[in-house]
Amino acid sequence: MYENSRKQFERAKLSIPGGVNSPVRAFKSVGGTPIFIKSAEGAYLFDEDGNKYIDYINSWGPMIMGHAYQPVTDAVHEQMKGSFSFGTPTSLETEMAELIKEMVPNIDLIRMVNSGTEACMSALRVARGYTGNNKFIKFDGCYHGHADAFLVNAGSGVATLEIQHVPGVTSAVAQDTLTAAYNNIEEVQELIAANKNEIAAIIIEPVGGNMGCIPPAPGFLQELRKVCDSENIVLIFDEVMTGFRLAAGGAQELYGVQADLVTFGKIIGGGLPVGAYGGRREIMECVAPAGKVYQAGTLSGNPLAMRAGYTLLNILNDGPDIYKELERTASSLQSRLQQAFSSAKFPVTINRVGSMMSIHFTNNQVNDYESAKSTDTEMFNKYFHHCLQNGIYLPPSAFESWFISTAITQKEIDKTVEVTKAFANLC
Ligand code: PLP
């Protein structure tokens, strides 16, 4: 069933570390051989062996309208005719910035970069430049890309591979990274009290997506806003996952809390490599050449990526019904899966916010990294492989969120439910 993928993986391992260009793709925790995908359309992935899968990762978020979405592919084709990198300003970059300002609350200025990692790394540098402080607070199990400062108690691949300490991250860098449990405002207050006037920023995924999907506790984001205001700390929302996915204005709109800086990735590039960071004018004016906080990029604002992202964002901006539709689909998937698992002898908790969701095999509430780690990950691995063999592609780790696209219909939900019922009766 996976013969060609196996061959491709063996070949890749000879030339690429671990055979993959990003660790979670490697199936290390779920076991088995990663599936090599050849193409994708709508709700489906097609692999090198001719197998077809319902896709619940959607490139880890960007393909919110499904794969090979025609308005975006047409726009990219059109743009290609006029060359696709100049290293000069283009009007498209300004149009993109204006559109984002219109969609997202509290963005006065925004800078384009090439990945979510770059966006978070740069936002932290700006917060440090603006406040003159070095330390910052992040939350256990949150992932903000692979820049050194963030690789402390990180989620995503770091959690999946159970890496406690990342070699290469010096203690000099790590000592400025303070960590608190997600959803625990007391721990944040204690860290602030112990590091008075030394903290530049608090960075958070407003909905955790890198330890599975973890919603913020009611009032938690509001409490963070209050504490940042009273202590002159820059509040950074990492909306690389949640931006343009949970609402046109992201988690800021959904929860009615405004951050000082916001980072984006994934959907903002429509499937091409883009990131961005932006926020309050006073802070963003520190960025070079307006200010002295240096940050640059040869391919930043790349016309192909801008065209793809601009086309997709415009469609999301014009269609509030898209978010209603995603909510309907995801809520139907959640409740029907809950039902499908009802005959199982093992416990299941399904967390969901909009079109981000995850299944944890536990009786307990999963609301932080500790509770996510204490779930039955072996059961997740079994479920993952059962789904894969039956044509459903889930994230290959219990510590990742599912991303649902508008291409998922009742037909795909029916199949997912049927496969899940069989699993519940099997185990
Ligand atoms: N921030 C969050 C919340 C993410 O989920 C990710 C990646 O998954 C990143 C930052 C890093 O983005 P990238 O992989 O584009 O560097």
Beta strand 234-238 with 261-264 is parallel
Question: For residue 229, what pLDDT is reported?
Answer: 98
Q: What is the pLDDT of residue 292?
A: 98
- Structural element, H or E, at residue 325: helix 320-340
CB of 209 sitting under 6 A from ligand 1: yes
Q: Are 36 and 21 in contact (CB under 8 A)?
A: no
The helix/strand/coil state of 51 is coil
Å from CA of 132 to ligand 1 middle: 26
| Residue-level pLDDT at 155 | 76
Distance 116 CA to ligand 1 centre (A): 5
Look at residue 33 in the predicted model and tell me its pLDDT. Answer: 94
Q: How far apart are CA 24 and CA 129, in angstroms?
A: 33
**Residue 320: predicted pLDDT:** 75
Looking at residue 209, the DSSP 8-state letter turns out to be -
| Pocket-testing residue among 124, 241, 274, ligand 1, by greatest number of atoms within 8 A of Cβ | 241
At residue 162, the pLDDT reads 77
Q: Is the CB of 116 under 6 A from ligand 1?
A: yes
Whether 94 and 303 have beta carbons less than 8 Å apart is answered as: no
Low-confidence stretches of the chain (pLDDT < 50) are none
Please provide the size of the chain in residues. Answer: 427
Ligand 1 atom nearest the C-alpha of 120 is 10
Cα gap 360→371, rounded to integer Å: 10
Q: How far is the CA of 207 from the centre of ligand 1 (A)?
A: 13
> Cis omega before residue 289 (within 30°)?
yes
**pLDDT, position 345:** 93
